[in-house]
A = this chain, B = another copy of it.
Amino acid sequence: MAKIPRPGKPVRGSKSGVPIMALFDLLGRRWAMGVIWALCKNGPCTFRELQAHCESISPAVLNTRLKELRQAGLVDRKPGGYVAKADGYQLYELLAPLGAWSKGWAARLAKKSDRSSG
């Protein structure tokens, strides 16, 4: 399986292991942010519920992401399903503003493509 990024250790693309680079390595993987998002929005979920919330993630990838997020201390597994830990929620709260911002961004992009295509 993929090497799991850890701050302080060399990370993909960074010898320094600066924390933000480790974080970007962790989050810059398919579905990583989506899983945190889904987990924090919907509360504790079973594996299959989480899979449903992510619409079309494959079990292999979900499982890999969950392992990574657990090793990163963001997610925990309890009897009954997966839960975001304190750090996971904090991260979600930092990510949350992106939700609102992305709507404006989408609108601006839509306008732009109006102009360029019609």
Contact residues of A with B, CB < 8 Å? 6-8, 12-16, 19-24, 27-34, 37, 54-57, 72-73, 87, 90-91, 94, 97-99, 101-103, 105-106, 108-110, 112-113
Contact = CB atoms under 8 A, between A and B. Distances in A.
- Copies, count: 2
Q: Chain A binding site: helix, strand, loop or mixed by DSSP?
A: helix
Given A8-B110, A31-B28, A109-B73, A23 B56 contact: no
Contacts of A20: 37, 98-99, 102
A98 B105 contact: no
Nearest to A16: B55
B13 A72 contact: no
Residue in A14, A24, A56, A72 with the greatest tally of chain B CB atoms within 10 Å: A24
